[in-house]
Amino acid sequence: MIFKKNTLRLLCLILLIPSAAFALGKKTPPLSNNYKVMTFNIGNKGIGKAPEQEWVGRFGAVIRAIKANKPDFIGTQEGNHAQLKSLDRGFHHKGDNNGFSFIELWKKSKMKLNDQYKWIGQGDASGAIIKRSGKYNAIYYKKNRFDVLEKGNLWYSVTGLQKNSTLARVEQKIAEVTLNLGTQKLPNWTKVEIDFSQFETRMFSWGKFRDKGTGKEMFIFNTQIYKDKTKETTNDMSVLAAKIFAVNLLRDYIFKKAHKNNQMTPVFVTGNYHTSYMNLPVSGVLSWPHGNYFLKNDYFYLNQVRVLGIPTGFLPDSSETLHQFGTIKGRFGSPQYPEDWTLSAGDNLHRKSSTIDKKKYKNIWGDLVWPSNHHPVTTVYTID
């Protein structure tokens, strides 16, 4: 009888071992109310003349910058599909904005992102069928921590938001928009005509996520806004008006998705705006109140210099994000304000810190290089 009991116990232990091993091997999502969000313009494949400024000379540094900051979400701008594959796999993928690439196995980093992250998004030149062409506003998320509930990609257009770049481009070619800027002091500037064919197509990607550990839900929006395409055919006012037009569409859509039944699901916005947050027409439109809610620029809110409680800007050389591989530096009286922003809004959302990472990181050959011509910005939040 004793032998039978011991045999039965042994059999139970044998049956339990595989289940226990599976439980040990499976990572459980972290239980935390803290969320770290990074915006990072990784730059197109060839944005500099030096070898270390080409994509092959810096993609390893991009991976290391991300790993060092440990964000839960990353909004990247400008990288094409081959570049995102380089980050995912840790091998250099050579390719253009057409969505095709080939791997160079002999050019590799010791790190990769797909061991921790997945991403959503679509190239900005993508039509209704081809999904990989153009530059991405990708949203990376920690796959062990979050589930994707919804996702989408929308293009700025003169008649509103479009579902693919083909429709947006058709309208760009034929449309001119007249915006009344509402000023009487400068009558020559009261109406500005924007020929949207002067600009590259611009869009944003978005997703709704659920924290697997806490059950909390949140939205991420990631964008890149208009800039001069050719200085000969655009002027400051037409570019400014295009930015205002686009960010207004973005703001309206954010609140349409996140603000329902007098409640606001937490929202994080990442992006490169090709203008400083001190450019009040752009930031003012994006931050315009929606009831009791409005989007705040996290870095500005947390790091601005105050004199007698009044915000007066930033310390010189402390806040630039566009640096063109160290050639642009702020100085007293002429600081380079950040043009890469994180913004946020929502119920029970609190901002803890926002920092600009200005470090160099090792590339695949072990050299310390700038990861991009933009510094990444990382903001930490809590959601009660």
Q: Does 1 map to a domain?
A: no
Residue 267's CATH number: 3.60.10.10
More confident residue, 118 or 99: 118
Residue 319 predicted with pLDDT over 50: yes
Q: Does 323 map to a domain?
A: yes
Edge to edge, the sheet with strand 34-41 lists 117-120, 139-142, 73-77, 34-41, 377-383, 349-356
In the chain the first and final C-alpha atoms are separated, in Å, by 57
| Other C-beta atoms lying within 10 Å of the C-beta of residue 172 | 20
Q: Does 105 map to a domain?
A: yes
Residue 238 predicted with pLDDT over 60: yes
Could you tell me where the DSSP H helices lie in the chain?
A: 2-25, 59-69, 81-89, 165-174, 236-258, 280-286, 298-303
Domain extent at residue 161 = 33-383
If you average pLDDT over residues 308-331, what whole number do you get?
77
- 0.85 surpassed by pTM: yes
If you average pLDDT over residues 309-318, what whole number do you get?
68
Per-residue DSSP letters for 20-74? HHHHHHSPPPP--SEEEEEEEE---SB--SSGGGBGGGTHHHHHHHHHHH--SEE
If you average pLDDT over residues 32-36, what whole number do you get?
96
Torsion angle (degrees, nearest 10) of CA 115, 117, 120, 121 = -90
More confident residue, 325 or 201: 325
Q: Does 247 map to a domain?
A: yes
Q: How many domains does the chain have?
A: 1
Q: Does 75 map to a domain?
A: yes
The predicted structure's pLDDT at residue 308: 73
Q: Does 21 map to a domain?
A: no
Q: Does 141 map to a domain?
A: yes
3-state secondary structure of 381: strand
The mean-pLDDT minimum among 47-51, 150-154, 310-314 falls in: 310-314
Judge contact between 156 and 202, C-beta under 8 A.
yes
* Position 345 confidence tier, pLDDT thresholds 50, 70, 90: very high
The mean-pLDDT minimum among 39-43, 167-171, 250-254 falls in: 167-171
The predicted structure's pLDDT at residue 26: 58
If you average pLDDT over residues 167-188, what whole number do you get?
54
The predicted structure's pLDDT at residue 19: 45
The mean-pLDDT minimum among 49-53, 58-62, 371-375 falls in: 49-53
